[in-house]
Structure 1
Amino acid sequence: MQAWQVHENGEPSEVMRLGETERPVPGEGQVLLRVRAANVNFPDALLCRGHYQVRPPLPFTPGVEVCAETEDGRRVIATPALPHGGFAEYTVADAATVLPAPDALDDAEAAALHIGYQTGWFGLHRRARLEAGETLLVHAAAGGVGSAAVQLGKAAGATVIGVVGGPEKADVARKLGCDVVIDRRGEDVIAAVKEATGGRGADVVYDPVGGEAYAQSAKAVAFEGRIVVVGFASGSIPSPALNHALVKNYSILGLHWGLYTTKNPELVRHCHEQLTELAARGAIRPLVSERVPLADAAQAVQRVADGVTTGRIAVVLHKGAAA
């Protein structure tokens, strides 16, 4: 079968190589999956660079999120078991983590539903306890992780403020449903949030960026607000001033979604049921900005690593992907 493999760590476009490999053999408790579409995630770039919290042995195939078909013909979504990632014709996954693909979404959309939307749902509902009528601030609102949080925030009845970088991404954020869009390249984010909220600030901040975005979050969060730390796409991990959290009375909430797959897998399935229902009634729909063939996977991962994409890029292996 054809598969992309990483033989040494570095930039995705330099270290990912497409070639013929043996079809993976499922281990105990695993299933073989024929990949229909694989979503490109920022962790794929981190895996290539050797900077992710999980470091599979070399060589490995990246691709942490797929829509696939089981040997008995079921259409599913899954997180592949590394080192056999999803940028290949076949992958393997732990059977207990495989979920039915929503009928309302095509293969590319279904592949993009899992990690980003699960992370958003857990971050907003489980950790931050977002309520209807509250204000949600989303950094990188036009990106893959941010766009999911925007849609989930709107579905929950929140007023959503999206922070983006550049006019193209601002247009995407508006189309996603943001009530207010702030272009950080030309606007003062903190002042704009205060203006949009009558000086109060945001009740919940969803931050997959870190660095300067987190510093802005701390200044723009409301009294008794909640900052959800999701990731550090900026490459800079901030050091929160806990005295500031104390005197301003806000919460800093960490979110590592992957832990729920082992600590509380039933909650992951409950979340998937909620997401499937939201997709069925059109309240959420993954923004797949591009669909590329397997041969273009390395360049797609590099573009996500460089932060120049909007929504999600899906690597589509089989035509006729519409559900």
Structure 2
Amino acid sequence: MKAARCEVYGGPENIVIRDIPDPVVKPGHVVVDVAAAAINFPDLLFIADKYQMSIPVPFTPGNEFSGRIAEVGEGVSGFAVGDAVYGSVPQGAMAEKALVAVEALTLVPDGLSMVEAAAFRVTYLTGYLSLVTAGNVRPGQWVVVLGAAGGVGTATVDIATRLGARVIAAASSDDRLAVAKELGAEAGVNYATENLKDRIKEITGGGADLVIDPVGDRWAEPALRAITWGGTFVTLGYAGGEIPRIPLNLVLLKNVTVRGLELRTWIARLPEATAAAKAGLAELIAGGLRPRVSETHPLDDVAVALQRVADRVPTGKVVITVTEGARNA
């Protein structure tokens, strides 16, 4: 089969396309004919060997995919050959076939294309868990979403508005803020030109109830300072580059709750919350929720697609179409 391969750690330019052996099905797993694979920011960290865990080279990057089941292993129930599924793997999604543990699979719900299904799991599950499980969001609350035009950002804005929150989108340009406002954000802050803390306080009339931060870097602290007394700050990642150092006296003086959410470990350690999040998302899909996919690229152009994510060009998810015609599958 054809697969993207990271053979040397570094940037997207190091990713090559190779022919490698097909995966062999094993108990508790299925082999999926991959239709589409989505790119997430951690993919860039994995290929650069800068993630919290290291993957030995060579490996096939990508953990989010959609496709149809080609083989079913011993002990698998609830799935059959030909089923349309989406899910995740530790690595290996950017290939024509993937070996997937059955617990990481979900049937594609009615209304989602293969491209949309590939773009759904990581960002929307992260967004829902950050808002509902970690953030305990309530209708009418002010929610600030940093990096609001990125993959996690657009998903979080979309979910928060559908749950009745009042969303302030924060992003690096007016064009990117416009994307978030299309998804329902009530207000926006351009943190490249405006004072993030002051604008949040001005818009809310005193402070935000909840901040969702996948960006980190120099924007985390002013966002934390703009939280109202007793509010919550959820850190999801550090796409801005630097891991911020937060003065703990800010947490103390405002009785702020700081939560960290790393999706892999949350899924493993909080199965009931994960199941509840999936059920909640299924209701939102039935109500019309669709992932925002801003770009698709063929597998042969995966290095180009990864570079565009690294350059923060897309406004939404970037998806690799592994199977020709995946968009309409």
Q: TM-score range by the shorter chain?
A: over 0.9
- The answer as to 2:8 corresponding to 1:11 is no
> 1: CA distance between counterparts of 2:275 and 2:204?
35
Among candidates 71, 74, 82, match of residue 73 of structure 1: 82
Question: Retained in 1: the 8 A contact 2:44–2:310?
Answer: yes
- 3-state SS of the aligned residue for 1:321? helix
- The answer as to 2:233 corresponding to 1:195 is no
1:120-135 alignment to 2 at 5 Å?
120-135=127-142
Task: Name the structure 2 match of 1:304.
Answer: 309
- 3-state SS of the aligned residue for 1:213? helix
> 2: CA distance between counterparts of 1:28 and 1:81?
17
> 1: CA distance between counterparts of 2:232 and 2:270?
23
- The answer as to 2:180 corresponding to 1:181 is no
Among candidates 225, 229, 237, match of residue 219 of structure 1: 225
> 2: CA distance between counterparts of 1:262 and 1:252?
21
- The answer as to 2:166 corresponding to 1:143 is no
Task: Name the structure 2 match of 1:317.
Answer: 322
- The answer as to 2:47 corresponding to 1:53 is no
- 3-state SS of the aligned residue for 2:246? coil
Q: Which runs of 5+ in 2 are unaligned?
A: 71-80
Among candidates 192, 210, 215, match of residue 216 of structure 2: 210
> 2: CA distance between counterparts of 1:269 and 1:69?
22
**May I ask how many residue pairs the two structures share in their alignment?**
318
- Cα RMSD of the aligned pairs, angstroms, is 1.4
Question: Retained in 2: the 8 A contact 1:97–1:261?
Answer: no
Q: Deviations over 1:173-192 (max 9, x none)?
A: 11111100111122111111
Q: Deviations over 1:21-60 (max 9, x none)?
A: 1112234422111101111110111111001123222110
Report the TM-score when normalising by structure 2.
0.93
- The answer as to 2:250 corresponding to 1:244 is yes
Among candidates 98, 107, 111, match of residue 91 of structure 1: 98
More deviation, 270-279/129-138: 270-279
Question: Retained in 1: the 8 A contact 2:211–2:232?
Answer: yes
Deviation at 1:320, TM superposition (A): 5.1
Question: Retained in 2: the 8 A contact 1:43–1:52?
Answer: yes
Deviation at 1:264, TM superposition (A): 2.9
Among candidates 162, 173, 179, match of residue 172 of structure 1: 179
Deviation at 1:279, TM superposition (A): 1.1
1:14-25 alignment to 2 at 5 Å?
15-25=14-24
Question: Retained in 1: the 8 A contact 2:140–2:164?
Answer: yes
- 4+ residue segments displaced more than 4 Å: none
Deviation at 1:255, TM superposition (A): 0.9
Question: Retained in 2: the 8 A contact 1:81–1:93?
Answer: no
Task: Name the structure 2 match of 1:111.
Answer: 118
Deviation at 1:267, TM superposition (A): 3.2
Q: Deviations over 1:253-306 (max 9, x none)?
A: 111221133223343233222212201211x22110011111111111121122
- 3-state SS of the aligned residue for 1:217? helix
- 3-state SS of the aligned residue for 2:328? coil
Among candidates 265, 274, 277, match of residue 259 of structure 1: 265
Q: Deviations over 1:179-220 (max 9, x none)?
A: 00111122111111111111x111000000111111111211
Q: Deviations over 1:218-239 (max 9, x none)?
A: 2111111100001111121112
> 1: CA distance between counterparts of 2:278 and 2:158?
15
> 1: CA distance between counterparts of 2:224 and 2:55?
35
- 3-state SS of the aligned residue for 2:138? coil
Task: Name the structure 1 match of 2:300.
Answer: 295
Aligned identity (percent) is 36
Deviation at 1:167, TM superposition (A): 2.4
> 2: CA distance between counterparts of 1:223 and 1:207?
18
Task: Name the structure 1 match of 2:78.
Answer: none
